[in-house]
Structure 1
Amino acid sequence: MTDISPTTHLDFKWPRGFDDTALIKISQAYPNLIHLNVFNNRSLTDHSIIELVSRCPKLQYLKISWSGNITDKSIYEIARSCYCLRHLGISGGKSSITDKSICEITRFIPNIQSLNFNNCKKLTDTTIHALVGSYLGLRELDLSDCKRITDIGIRQIAQCRNLEHLALNYFKFLSDETICIIVQSCPNISYLNLEFCRAIDTAVEAIAQSCHNIEYLNVYETGYVTNKSISKLAKMRSKIWELELGYCKRITDTAIKDIAHNLSDLKYLGLRFCSDISKEALETLNPDLEIGGYHTIPSTL
């Protein structure tokens, strides 16, 4: 290809027939790429990732999600080639990256603001230590389902006081004390995903007390959240537009009425298997509100 395209942003979600050959052709055709997002293609390997970053050194946003067999080799090349990178997402699929390569990222790329390592199961507390040591200004972090990271490691995140987006799904061992420390230290959090984290009222009340800008909160199947904390959250944080309470079976009409009265900007409310909520309470909610799991509430049938 002799013509160089001025294109700088490309997004590929659920692409068909997208393999190493396709990604290499993209890197050849678009050397000025700044933003590349490839989602859910399991055919990519280190070969094409290495070729991409060597040919597109201007990349600032690179997200490769659920996209094949990616190892430390790719991360090493990213570290050495993409000095300008601001967002890096390598998540899911057969990703087998380790702490060693993440430490290389922190050595060579100084201005990272957003990281997504969802489902990177080989990462440990060493990764957290490296990130906190290099990126105190980090704004977005997704460590969902990174099973080898411990509660002690997660607690270090509290040092990143500018965090706005934090996802810790599937950290079933996560203590309420750690959640409290993080939200009290990071008051700018607007997006917090604690799905399957087994949080209790203490943690949710700390979120209500500290996170002044909270807009999205997911406590799906946390088990021990009750009306007490959800009512407090509704009364104190009126900016919330999405609230997921699925499988929080202790939620009743009391919390629903407080949500209806206080959360006027709410667009989505997840209530899957919240079986102690009456039809009358649901009718107090905005009729335009999307209610997830509505069909599972017996009293509405």
Structure 2
Amino acid sequence: MNNLVLSLAPKFTKLLTLVLRQENPQLEDTAVETIAKFCHDLQDLDLSKSFKLGDRSLYALSHGCRNLTKLNISGCTSFSDEGLEYLTKFCRKLKILNLCGCIKATTDCALQAIGQNCNMLHSLNLGWCDNVGDLGVTSLAYGCPDLRCLDLCGCVRITDDSVIALASGCLHLRSLGLYYCRNITNREMYSLAHSRVKNKASIWQPMKGRYDEEGLRSLNISQYTALTPSVVQALCDTFPALHTCSGRHSLVMSGYLNLTSVHCACAVQSHRTLNSILHTAH
């Protein structure tokens, strides 16, 4: 694949989208450098699972592909935080960034750079990046207020402070992954619910007819150990788009034997409808 990219990139200078996802890593820095040299209009680039790539690729993209809006470098384990910080200084149009598994690159310093430079970001995947901490997530929360989707699954260092910051700074957040984030407690969940109540007058109330489009629509809180049914029920009550019912599991909470009493809005409505029918029948 590497030689193929080297030969074709100079001939396709108007490329907007390029997917180079690999199961068997072959791509090297020289190929990405060639892409950056000739494909200046590139907006969407997928380099996932390119284990052989290093910071040379990020430096090349920084100078040659400044129109990038979507970048997938998940599983690229050789990138460093310095390389990622450098990229964010030049690729400021990024809206979708997938860093899942980029353990070396995703330090708090790198996330601070993203928060400072990429304020157009809508979606960020930090899954299983266990160097991510509260300082980095807080920087994202206040630097990227338009975040819609954030995956923090497996980020074991984050605590309540991270999600409280997200609740305050990212009022348009629709999807949040917190699987295996075991340092998070009831306090964080209440902050999410309160964020909508607090900002309802300024954010949701003027948007009549679009109420259900705002607020959390997907939440993964599997493998928590400290949450109580009352706080999870408060989330369901606050965000009616979160579902626990069959076929619509947008609230994922596997691993909780004590949360069987939690029900989403449609389950509650079905129960009320059934009671109404039974009452009428009598």
Aligned residues of 2:173 and 2:215 also touching (Cα < 8 A): yes
Runs of at least 5 residues in structure 2 that lack an aligned partner in the other structure = 197-213, 243-247, 275-282
Aligned in 2, Cα 1:118/1:255: closer, same or farther, shift over 3 Å? Answer: same
Alignment TM-score, normalising by the size of structure 2:
0.78
Q: How far has the Cα of 1:87 moved from its partner?
A: 1.7
Match in the other structure for 2:236: 234
Give the secondary structure class of the aligned counterpart of 2:34.
Answer: helix
- Count of equivalent residues: 245
2:87 aligned with 1:85, yes or no?
no
**What RMSD in Å do the two structures reach over aligned CA positions?**
2.4
Match in the other structure for 2:15: 33
Match in the other structure for 1:288: none
Distance 1:37 1:209 in 2: 41
Aligned residues of 2:240 and 2:265 also touching (Cα < 8 A): no
Q: How far has the Cα of 1:187 moved from its partner?
A: 1.1
Q: Which amino acid aligns with 1:236?
A: T
Match in the other structure for 1:206: 191
Match in the other structure for 1:53: 36
Q: Which amino acid aligns with 1:87?
A: K
Q: Which amino acid aligns with 2:44?
A: Y
Match in the other structure for 2:277: none
Q: Which moved more, 1:189-198 or 1:127-136?
A: 127-136
Match in the other structure for 1:171: 155
2:53 aligned with 1:70, yes or no?
yes
Aligned in 2, Cα 1:40/1:209: closer, same or farther, shift over 3 Å? Answer: farther
Match in the other structure for 1:245: 253
Q: Which amino acid aligns with 2:65?
A: C
Match in the other structure for 1:111: 93
Q: Which amino acid aligns with 1:189?
A: L
Match in the other structure for 1:162: 146
Match in the other structure for 1:21: 3
Match in the other structure for 2:278: none
Match in the other structure for 1:224: 226
Distance 1:29 1:197 in 2: 46
Give the secondary structure class of the aligned counterpart of 1:39.
Answer: coil
Give the secondary structure class of the aligned counterpart of 2:150.
Answer: strand
> Per-residue displacement from partner, 1:155-175 (whole Å, max 9, x unpaired)?
222212111111111111211
2:255 aligned with 1:255, yes or no?
no
Aligned residues of 1:231 and 1:259 also touching (Cα < 8 A): no
Alignment TM-score, normalising by the size of structure 1:
0.73
> Per-residue displacement from partner, 1:228-266 (whole Å, max 9, x unpaired)?
1221222221223522111123212x214766226x9xx
Q: How far has the Cα of 1:81 moved from its partner?
A: 0.3
Match in the other structure for 1:297: none
2:154 aligned with 1:152, yes or no?
no
Distance 1:43 1:222 in 2: 39
Aligned residues of 2:65 and 2:91 also touching (Cα < 8 A): yes
Aligned residues of 2:131 and 2:157 also touching (Cα < 8 A): no
Q: Which amino acid aligns with 1:155?
A: T
Distance 1:49 1:178 in 2: 34
Overall identity of the aligned pairs, in %: 23
Structure with higher strand content = 1
Q: How far has the Cα of 1:181 moved from its partner?
A: 1.7
Aligned residues of 1:64 and 1:90 also touching (Cα < 8 A): yes
Give the secondary structure class of the aligned counterpart of 2:73.
Answer: strand
